[in-house]
Structure 1
Amino acid sequence: MKVESPVEDGGVEEGKGAEVTGPGHVYDKGVKYLTERGLAVLPDKYVLPPHERPRPKERDSSPRRSGHGMRLPMVDFQELQGPNRRRVVESIAEACEKHGFFQVVNHGIPTEVLSDMIDMSTGFFEQPFEERARYMSPDMFSPVRYGTSMNQNNDTVLCWRDFLKITCPPTISEGSFRHWPSSPADFRKSVARYAMETKHMFLVLMEAILEGLLIRHKPNKQGQGPGADNIRDVRNRSEFDNVMEMFRGGSQLMVMNCYPPCPQPNLTLGMSPHSDYGFLTLLLQDNVEGLQLHHEEKWVTVHPVPGSFSVNVGDHLEIFSNGRYRSVLHRVLANHTKSRVSVVSIHSFPFDATVRPWAELVDEANPSLYRDTSFACFMDYISSSEPKRKNFLESRKLPS
């Protein structure tokens, strides 16, 4: 197969991004670049082996026709602040155990903050290639990076996705985002506010998740978690407070994803099956379906709920919970007619911190099941290996 477009196979367009992209193939410029030039046939570099392609029945998201659509467990964020907190804490714990995903509604983030974030993401990707290319870099540690696929240097088959990754400091101030894109207008202001709002949501959710872990899973002689009658006793634990302090000073990666219309979506994926590296991922998406999670041995489409967030357990939370909560495989379908935009906010401990099973959940009868890990371990792994499914997390498991 060949690219049916007027671009050349080699070289990089002149401009500010030329020196960082190098003399690579046209595919290094991203799928948005290809579609802007009238791509009509999917290049071989994006064609998955037959056994990895989405099956026709998995692509049909209509529950009536396929049975493969689902709505995630719903969490009412406002109720975490009220008299029903205990019930909501336990519902989050159940969602983390059984699904690894849940949907957050009534989160209190103003509608205009969400719409501005989608608009700014869309606006960034709609800029001329020369403007986007200013942020292209092969350096996976770059704090602001525009790229394509998962890891275009190592992936055997590229994904049908472009992304803009931004590393957010624990405390956002005007000086901290001077390296962020300044275009479209108000980009920095909108992204900064969104980052602060999602960081607050993450902290509230993790406080509830820690409570749930202690109540349901902390081992003791009676087989009951502490604080069963008084959650506030759990929340006052010094170890609990230490972990929350790590989260307050923790890492936040913002990734804006663009999935342009694909000429042959049955042959590729927007993102291949994977799990996320952090504790929690908060997903904001437009109204175009595409996200699928692996649930009960089949791929199911997650229907977007306007104004809500999809939240999923990451690898670090699986390690921290000592396997009680599982990060779940998910993927993104390509679309033939519509462009899709999503924003993920990935949260964890500080980049230089170590993640290990929480001491509160480990004893002689419940030994640690995972090796210590860190962001550096993760980056070393994906820099040298093609990331697939949950292979990084599998590499951190201790022999049983």
Structure 2
Amino acid sequence: MEMNEGKDLRWFDVKNVPEGYIFSKENRPQNLDSPVSDSIPVIDLEKTPIEAIFKASQEFGFFYVINHGVPEKTTNDAINVMKEFFNMPSKDRSGVVLNSKNWIYINSTDFEKDGVYLWRENLKHPCRPLEECIPQWPQEPTRYQEIIAAYIVEIQKLSLRILEMICKGLGLDPGFFNGKSEVQILSTGFYPPCPDPTLTLGILAHQDPSLITLLYQGGLAGLQVLKDGEWINVGAIPNAFVVNIGNQLEIISNGKFKSVLHRVVNSKHETRRSIATFVNPSLDCIIEPAKVLINELEPARYEASKYKDFIGRNKSFGDHTTALLNATPSDNQA
């Protein structure tokens, strides 16, 4: 197990799971030892993926993308600088947080659900407007700002590319998402080895309140998706991203696409690090079913709503909600 500079024991350096991290029997993870599912679509973006993305968004709400154009060096640098951040002494991580209101470092005991803590640490911060956000990010490690800024630029390009394919698949006008999408939040997870992963969770079951979320898993599994009432294990394909459909895209598609429940489980022997980027509408953007998808046979299934009002009403996003509401200045336009 990792230790703080090899000197001090950290909260996860224990032989047994502390009581405060043990979930009730009905909420504990299942199928930890089940094989990784081979049914989740793997979509090669160098080919013609529009039909494949449409089908995956309908049937799963999740898919991998490969040959996506993000340089491997960019993803490796990003996951490595996150490793450096979480390896810093806890006093250094927490001390920096106190100097900024716009990003949040969460230790394992800073967030709880029904009195139980998650087996993880987390760092999240806003990414838009990028040039204004960069100086507010962690200054340690020293290369953090440069590396994560380069990562966000690549994710923005990839997200627009994927959304444009979704646009074509749905029959929407080209550029439909140009004024409705931005890489708004970056959230990184640190999931250290757990003495008994059957008792704990890394992230609670939830849906994402985004358009889409792009997840880089750093080569280690741990993500589970609810499919047909059963939790299935999502593997970690090297240099691939997991893309999942968020609530806002479900609304825009008028229910053709589904935002599905997912969660993170822990490992007994491995440390998992992941980077999730939430591609959201701006807070004042009005989200509603696309007009071209509405007719007498297919009436609107969702009411129009400002994005900030939607996330304000839906508190099931756990510790993401406050960060989303504080993610962008109030005068941002859709």
Do Structure 1 and Structure 2 share a fold, with TM-score over 0.5? yes
Q: Please say if 1:246 is aligned against 2:205.
A: no
Are 2:121 and 2:191, in contact at CA under 8 Å, matched by a contact in 1?
Answer: yes
- The equivalent position to 1:77 in structure 2, one of 24, 41, 45, is 45
Counterpart mapping for 1:277-356 below 5 A:
277-356=209-288
> Counterpart of 1:244 in structure 2: which amino acid?
N
Q: Deviations over 1:20-77 (max 9, x none)?
A: xxxxxxxxxxxx9512xx333323322111111123xx0114x3xxxx5335212112
**Larger relative helix fraction:** 1
- Structure 2 segments unaligned to the other structure (5+ residues): 1-8, 320-334
- The equivalent position to 2:123 in structure 1, one of 164, 169, 179, is 164
Are 2:205 and 2:261, in contact at CA under 8 Å, matched by a contact in 1?
Answer: yes
Match of 1:34 in 2: 11
Q: Please say if 1:98 is aligned against 2:59.
A: yes
Q: Please say if 1:376 is aligned against 2:333.
A: no
- Give the 3 Å change call, closer, same or farther, for CA 135–154 of structure 1 in structure 2: farther
Counterpart mapping for 1:1-400 below 5 A:
33-35=10-12, 38-55=13-30, 58-61=31-34, 63=35, 69-70=37-38, 72-79=40-47, 85=48, 88-136=49-97, 142-148=101-107, 152=111, 155-170=114-129, 172-173=130-131, 175-214=132-171, 237=173, 240-247=174-181, 250-381=182-313, 387=318
> Counterpart of 1:205 in structure 2: which amino acid?
I
- Structure 1 segments unaligned to the other structure (5+ residues): 1-31, 80-84, 215-233, 389-400
The secondary structure found in structure 2 opposite 1:143 is coil
Are 2:152 and 2:183, in contact at CA under 8 Å, matched by a contact in 1?
Answer: no
* TM-score (normalised: structure 1): 0.72
Shift of 1:264: 2.2
**Larger relative strand fraction:** 2
Runs (4 or more) in structure 1 with deviation over 4 Å come to 148-151, 385-388
Q: Calculate percent identity across the aligned residue pairs.
A: 31
Shift of 1:153: 6.0
Which protein is bigger by CA-based radius of gyration?
A: 1
> Counterpart of 1:182 in structure 2: which amino acid?
Q
Give the superposed CA RMSD.
2.4
Q: Deviations over 1:270-289 (max 9, x none)?
A: 11211111011101012222
Partner Cα separation in structure 1 for residue 255 and residue 58 of structure 2? 9
Are 1:96 and 1:313, in contact at CA under 8 Å, matched by a contact in 2?
Answer: yes
- Give the 3 Å change call, closer, same or farther, for CA 98–112 of structure 1 in structure 2: same
Partner Cα separation in structure 2 for residue 255 and residue 119 of structure 1? 15
Partner Cα separation in structure 1 for residue 86 and residue 61 of structure 2? 30
Q: Deviations over 1:221-270 (max 9, x none)?
A: xxxxxxxxxxxxx6xx4xx43532332xx352111110011122111111
Partner Cα separation in structure 2 for residue 155 and residue 210 of structure 1? 40
